[in-house]
Amino acid sequence: MKKVLFLLALGLFACTATVSAQPRPVEKVVKPTVAAAPAPASFAVKYEGGMYGFSEKRKGTLKFDDANERLVFYSAEDNKEKFSIPYSSMLVIFPQSRSVNSTTGDVISYIPLPGAGLAGLLREKRRYLVVNYDDQDVDVKGLANFKLDNKELLNSVIQTLGEKAKLKQRGDSYYRPRETKTEL
């Protein structure tokens, strides 16, 4: 009798393990994306790094140069072009947000008053435009990061840039599909 119960329990366990281990098919449902307002021709950003030869952070302006099919960064100090990224070199563009303690919260949290430590909970969101590109001059790939002021501007810039660079959308980012080679 014990052997029968043991075999029955073992069989039941094996059946449940087999059923639960079945892979689920990937859903191909594509959520309709809401079209963002078109981005302005130029907008204020803070360059955070990523371009070869330009390591220091700078405030400036990004402009769409549709005539030459490129995205151009102008420095705020002298309003001169510092660098550009051609649309054809862009591989992936995506938004990134980072929640950090605000400077005010950090300063207040160190004041020796009761409850001042709670000011360290003050947080702010920083939003970045990240451009993954293929640099043709040095034959390397890189990431350029630009800090933008608000989410609406970031979404409209990503959508406009994705359309101008003829990239394919995946979620809230855009990418350039790989070229598949077929050999016969």
What is the reported pLDDT for 60?
A: 94
Question: Among the ranges 9-13, 89-93, 96-100, which has the highest mean pLDDT value?
Answer: 89-93
Distance CA 121, CA 99 (A): 11
Judging by beta carbons within 10 Å of its beta carbon (0-12, 13-18, 19+), is residue 182 exposed, middle or buried? exposed
Domains and CATH numbers, the chain: 42-99+126-175 (2.30.29.30)
Q: How far apart are CA 156 and CA 153, in angstroms?
A: 5
Whole-angstrom Cα distance, residue 172 to residue 127?
13
Q: Looking at the DSSP assignment, which residues form a beta bridge with residue 58?
A: 47
- Give me the pLDDT at residue 163, please: 92
Instruction: Identify the pLDDT of residue 62.
Output: 93
3-state secondary structure 125-154: EEEEEEEEEEECCCCEEEEEEEEECCHHHH
